């Protein structure tokens, strides 16, 4: 009798063994490659592919936010326009690491990714290791007690490209997954704007993706308060959209270019701007190049034997030479949406 049931018993044992192995593979995201530097303790919620990386499969850990429609336009710029190629990139709030991994896959020089959710930090590191094994993603954990945008960025660190798909609403965070949806008192937004002048390289770009009307209006208002230039990189009319919408809307923020003046032999920063019509007038053109300023009436003529200034350059004032652009009256601000 026992021998008659042996094939059935072997079948049952083999079936359970296969299920155990399959379950183990699923825990690590349907991968068979094990790495000691990765955290496999989180459950996998789903896996998927995206058009920009057709040969790879992204893994989403439990409690990590994932909504690909938030960043469609941003991913197109990275993949089709090469905005990350050869550049040092910072992503604030990386989630699954989708955007950071895409930057690595498109020849970014380096990528730093931050997140406040521990599962997201593990998730981004895992996806980068599996999809870009020959490149390194610097993933940093943000302390929940200090959730500022640049909290884990060194004072002297600067980036060519700062990107983020931040939380959209002012709300209370009660669990790790809530960090993807709520920005209490919009602290992340405000600290991001405040830290841009220090951490964005001259000529660098800051691109933010939002899918909430009120958050976008607040971002534009706060940018204007700081004298920043802001532009909506989307053809849709914001007022005609619902409060929450998809795909998300991409915005570019450009902080003040702080010029320096030589006064009595010392360099001193100046936040004053020269006025302009139809473009930002901060001593920088739309492509990040130094924009020449027109000479002011009554400037001192160069001494005999000195080289005449080129056409369009600023003729130096007596005892006050501008290092970047001639200052205005300190009252002007960069008009919103004026740069290409």
pLDDT computed for residue 93 by the predictor = 97
Which token pair is 30?
A: 């349907």
pLDDT computed for residue 316 by the predictor = 45
How far apart are alpha carbons 23 and 25 in whole angstroms? Answer: 5
Side by side, which strands form the sheet with 266-270? 266-270, 259-263, 320-322
Interval 191-216: pLDDT, tens: 999 999 999 999 999 999 999 999 99
pLDDT computed for residue 294 by the predictor = 44
Q: Please, which residues bridge with residue 61 across strands?
A: 44
Which token pair is 217?
A: 């209006």
How far apart are alpha carbons 18 and 23 in whole angstroms? Answer: 8
In the structure, what pLDDT confidence band is assigned to residue 15 with cuts at 50, 70 and 90? Answer: very low
Task: Name the pTM for this structure.
Answer: 0.70
10 φψ region: left (φ > 0), alpha (ψ -120 to 50), beta (else): alpha
Residue 295 scores a pLDDT above 60: no
Interval 310-319: pLDDT, tens: 444 444 444 4
Sketch the domain layout of the chain as residue ranges: 63-254, 259-330
Q: What is the mean pLDDT of residues 294-303?
A: 46
pLDDT computed for residue 177 by the predictor = 87
pLDDT computed for residue 257 by the predictor = 64
Of the candidates 92, 163, 97, 108, the one whose C-alpha atom is nearest the C-alpha of residue 131 is 97
Residue 296 scores a pLDDT above 80: no
Residue 39 scores a pLDDT above 80: yes
Interval 91-125: pLDDT, tens: 999 999 999 999 999 999 999 999 999 999 999 99
How far apart are alpha carbons 100 and 124 in whole angstroms? Answer: 8
How far apart are alpha carbons 48 and 58 in whole angstroms? Answer: 5
How far apart are alpha carbons 261 and 252 in whole angstroms? Answer: 28
Q: Pick from 157-161, 258-262, 328-332 the range whose average pLDDT is largest.
A: 157-161
Interval 261-294: pLDDT, tens: 444 444 344 343 333 333 333 333 333 333 343 4
pLDDT computed for residue 176 by the predictor = 86
pLDDT computed for residue 126 by the predictor = 97
Q: What is the mean pLDDT of residues 48-72?
A: 91
Mean pLDDT across the chain, nearest whole number?
77
- Is 63-254 a domain of CATH 3.40.50.150? yes
Interval 176-193: pLDDT, tens: 889 899 999 999 999 999
Provide the b/e sequence for 231-266 (b: ≥16 CB within 10 Å): bbebeeeeeebeeebebbbbbbbbbbbebebeeeee
Radius of gyration for the chain, computed over Cα atoms and rounded to the nearest angstrom: 26
pLDDT computed for residue 256 by the predictor = 76
- Cβ–Cβ < 8 Å for 316, 299: yes
- Say what percent of the chain tops pLDDT 90: 59
Hey, how many other C-beta atoms are within 10 angstroms of the C-beta on 119? 23
The helix-helix angle for 98-105 and 118-131 (nearest 10°) equals 30
86 φψ region: left (φ > 0), alpha (ψ -120 to 50), beta (else): left
């Amino acid at each position: 009798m026992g021998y008659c049931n042996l094939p059935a018993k072997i079948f049952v044992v083999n079936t359970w063994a296969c299920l155990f192995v399959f379950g183990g593979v699923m825990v690590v995201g349907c991968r068979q490659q094990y790495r000691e530097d990765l955290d496999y303790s989180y459950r996998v919620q789903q896996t998927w592919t995206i058009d920009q990386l057709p040969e790879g499969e992204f893994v989403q850990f439990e409690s990590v936010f994932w909504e690909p429609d938030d960043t469609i336009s941003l991913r197109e710029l990275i993949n089709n326009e090469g905005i990350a190629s050869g550049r040092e990139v910072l992503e604030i709030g990386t989630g699954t690491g989708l955007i950071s991994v895409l930057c690595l896959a498109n020849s970014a020089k380096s990528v730093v990714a931050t997140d406040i959710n521990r599962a997201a930090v593990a998730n981004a590191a895992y996806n980068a290791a599996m999809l870009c094994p020959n490149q390194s993603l610097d993933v940093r954990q943000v302390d929940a007690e200090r959730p500022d945008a640049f909290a884990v960025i060194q004072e002297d660190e600067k980036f060519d490209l700062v990107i983020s798909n931040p939380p959209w609403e002012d709300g209370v965070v009660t669990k790790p997954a809530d960090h993807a949806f709520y920005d209490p008192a919009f602290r992340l937004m405000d600290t991001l704007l405040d830290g841009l002048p220090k951490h964005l390289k001259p000529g660098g770009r800051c691109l933010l993706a939002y899918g909430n009307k009120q958050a976008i209006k607040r971002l534009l208002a706060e940018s204007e308060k700081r004298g920043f230039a802001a532009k909506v990189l989307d053809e849709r009319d914001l007022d005609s959209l619902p409060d929450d919408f998809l795909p998300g809307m991409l915005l570019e923020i450009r902080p003040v270019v702080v010029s320096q003046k030589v006064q009595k032999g010392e360099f001193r920063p100046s936040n004053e701007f020269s006025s302009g019509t139809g473009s930002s007038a901060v001593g920088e053109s739309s492509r990040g190049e130094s924009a020449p300023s027109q000479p002011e009436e009554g400037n001192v003529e160069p001494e005999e034997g000195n080289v005449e200034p080129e056409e369009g350059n600023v003729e130096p004032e007596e005892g006050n030479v501008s290092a970047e652009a001639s200052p205005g009256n300190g009252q002007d601000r960069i008009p919103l949406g004026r740069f290409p």
